[in-house]
A and B are shown apart, each in its own frame.
Chain A
Amino acid sequence: MTDSVVRVRGVDKVFGIGADKTPALQSIDLEIPKGAFVSLIGPSGCGKSTLLRLIGDLTQPSAGTIEVNGKTAHRARVDRDYGMVFQAPVLFDWRTVQGNVELPLEVSAKDRAGRADRARAMLALVELSGFERRYPWQLSGGMQQRVAIARALSFEPAILLMDEPFGALDEMTRERLNLELLRIWKQTGTTTVFVTHSIPEAVFLSTHVAVMSARPGRILEVIPVDLPQPRNDLTREDERYFGFIKRVRERLRGRDVVRPGAAEVAAS
């Protein structure tokens, strides 16, 4: 378990004070091994985004500890270990596609000379070569989301945190971007935490699916998905793929009992 990149221990998160107190997360334990692709799935409002933001040090836990690469989450953020992709692309209108992808490199003053090349390579990775000089508003929603992914990858973060990045896309685009994301993940080996509402998407992409309960969010079970890699269109026809989908669905419905220790990814 020493190779865990993310280690969440006994984390609670309570929003507000007094009468407005909302417990969002309760006793969360989660270990994410290096190179894993972990999906967080659960009903709306169960705290998936909150957990992702806690790992990314964009909000602080009310109790418990979060360790990332053996450091505090804060230290990891300051060390620029995170690449974040939000539900909305969050691109800057005043920057070209190229400029948007270069943004994190500029902020970290990293790789000054190779910046432009690096951004171009990342755009090629998400199949957006030729769009470097366009502005974000000249692109479709799916293309914008791919720019956001290229931007998150541009500075080679140790951990990729993605919050429903394909939530707003149609099924076809989504499936294509899933394949692209997996290809990139294979190529870079970046440890990835991925929030989604879609059970098939979670199963298709992940090495582990963390199933969460309704508010206050807890992790009911972490299901290891040992479908063969690399995943491709054949995976979606695999019988075991449907088996995993069924398992996750039943877990979400609250059948099956919680097995002790099941919340530990690395235990598998």
Chain B
Amino acid sequence: MTKRIGRYLPAALVFVGVLGLWELAVRAFGIQQFLLPPPSSIAAAFVEHFDELMTVGRNTLVEAVGGLVIGGVAALVVAFAIARWASASRALLPFAIAANSVPIIAFAPIMNNWFGILNPLSKMMVVAVLVFFPIMINTLRGLTLVDQASLELMRSYAASERAIFAKVRVPNALPYIFTALKVSATLSLIGAIVAEYFGGARSVLGQFIITEAAFFRFANAWAAIVVASAVSIAFFLIILAIERVAIPWHASARIVDSS
């Protein structure tokens, strides 16, 4: 236990140190609130608007998670189809690659138009398109970059394609999928907030930040940014925890004997 504390102590000290310097610098140089509010006023804003911040944070998280689920499921389906059927690969892969080159955020106003500016679905769709490619490509990699010897072993058992898929390719792909999900967790929050900047319900992070900034209540905007960061980190950690449980055998989850 003391070991654990020792491990995180340097990072904690840096964090506290940076906050302290920030506070001091703002006071010492008399930096204007609208340029950079000191941590103390951000903290005060956070406490004052706690309920509202929780609500907008939750609403944005719902959009991010919803979008990740929609985009993730679509990506898995496409990746499995491509890996399973060569003809599917020829038909779908060019489009998937083309889609990746599109600046997805440019679609946000269109999505607002399609799914309704107040409908969270419009933000989810932006997120979905954003996370689709990294998940699809990583899954495809995991399904196809399989140790040749493993395939040969399965062949020696006269295993069916289906059995090879279920017993070799899918387990092999799981670490790749989780890597993509961890990247996408952050990506999905960025997507949701940026999509909200293009208009949407009032009680979401993006709109909250825009409105507060417009009224020069910058401490409130910063408090919302803190919430956004916390939500993003929490989302990442949740996926990390699921990964630990789902693939305990993977190298990333192995207990390293570090003494």
Contacts A86-B153, A90-B150, A93-B250 given: A107-B168 contact, CB under 8 Å? no
Would you call A92 an interface residue if the criterion is a C-beta within 8 Å of the partner chain's C-beta atoms? yes
Would you call A77 an interface residue if the criterion is a C-beta within 8 Å of the partner chain's C-beta atoms? yes
Q: Give chain B residues whose Cβ lies under 8 Å from the Cβ of A92.
A: 150, 167-168, 171
Contact for A94 among B147, B149, B155, B247, CB less than 8 A: B247
B153 touches A90 (CB 8 A): yes
Interface residues on B, range: 20 to 34
| Tally of A-B Cβ pairs under 8 angstroms | 54
Would you call B259 an interface residue if the criterion is a C-beta within 8 Å of the partner chain's C-beta atoms? no
Q: Give Cα A93 to B173, complex, Å.
A: 12
- Interface 0/1 of B233-259, CB less than 8 Å to A: 000000000000001011100100000
Q: Which of B64-72, B86-94, B156-164, B182-190 contacts A (4 or more CB under 8 A)?
A: B156-164
Interface residues on A, range: 20 to 34
- Interface 0/1 of A70-95, CB less than 8 Å to B: 00000001111011101010101111
Would you call A47 an interface residue if the criterion is a C-beta within 8 Å of the partner chain's C-beta atoms? no
- Chain A residue nearest in CB terms to B150: A90
Would you call B154 an interface residue if the criterion is a C-beta within 8 Å of the partner chain's C-beta atoms? yes
Contacts A58-B156, A90-B149 given: A107-B167 contact, CB under 8 Å? yes
CB of B244, distance to nearest CB on chain A (Å): 14
- Interface 0/1 of A137-150, CB less than 8 Å to B: 10000000000000
Q: Give chain A residues whose Cβ lies under 8 Å from the Cβ of B156.
A: 56, 58, 77, 82-84
A contacts with B: majority SS? loop
B249 touches A93 (CB 8 A): yes
Would you call A104 an interface residue if the criterion is a C-beta within 8 Å of the partner chain's C-beta atoms? yes
A78 touches B158 (CB 8 A): yes
B254 touches A137 (CB 8 A): yes
Q: Give chain B residues whose Cβ lies under 8 Å from the Cβ of A56.
A: 156
Q: Give chain A residues whose Cβ lies under 8 Å from the Cβ of B149.
A: 86, 88, 90
CB of B155, distance to nearest CB on chain A (Å): 6
Q: Give chain B residues whose Cβ lies under 8 Å from the Cβ of A106.
A: 167
Would you call B174 an interface residue if the criterion is a C-beta within 8 Å of the partner chain's C-beta atoms? yes
- Chain B residue nearest in CB terms to A155: B157
Q: Give chain B residues whose Cβ lies under 8 Å from the Cβ of A242.
A: none
Q: Give Cα A74 to B163, complex, Å.
A: 19
Would you call A123 an interface residue if the criterion is a C-beta within 8 Å of the partner chain's C-beta atoms? no
- Chain A residue nearest in CB terms to B171: A94
Would you call B48 an interface residue if the criterion is a C-beta within 8 Å of the partner chain's C-beta atoms? no
- Chain B residue nearest in CB terms to A87: B149
CB of A164, distance to nearest CB on chain B (Å): 13
Q: Give Cα A108 to B174, complex, Å.
A: 24
Q: Give chain A residues whose Cβ lies under 8 Å from the Cβ of B147.
A: 90
Contacts A88-B149, A135-B249 given: A94-B174 contact, CB under 8 Å? yes
Would you call A182 an interface residue if the criterion is a C-beta within 8 Å of the partner chain's C-beta atoms? no
B247 touches A84 (CB 8 A): no
Contact for B157 among A88, A94, A108, CB less than 8 A: A108
Pairs across A and B, CB under 8 Å, 5 listed = A90-B149, A92-B167, A94-B250, A103-B157, A104-B157
Binding site for B on A (CB under 8 A): 56, 58, 77-80, 82-84, 86, 88, 90, 92-95, 103-104, 106-108, 135, 137
Known: A58-B156, A77-B155. 12 other contacts (CB 8 A): A78-B158, A79-B158, A86-B153, A90-B149, A90-B150, A90-B152, A93-B249, A94-B172, A94-B247, A107-B167, A137-B249, A137-B254
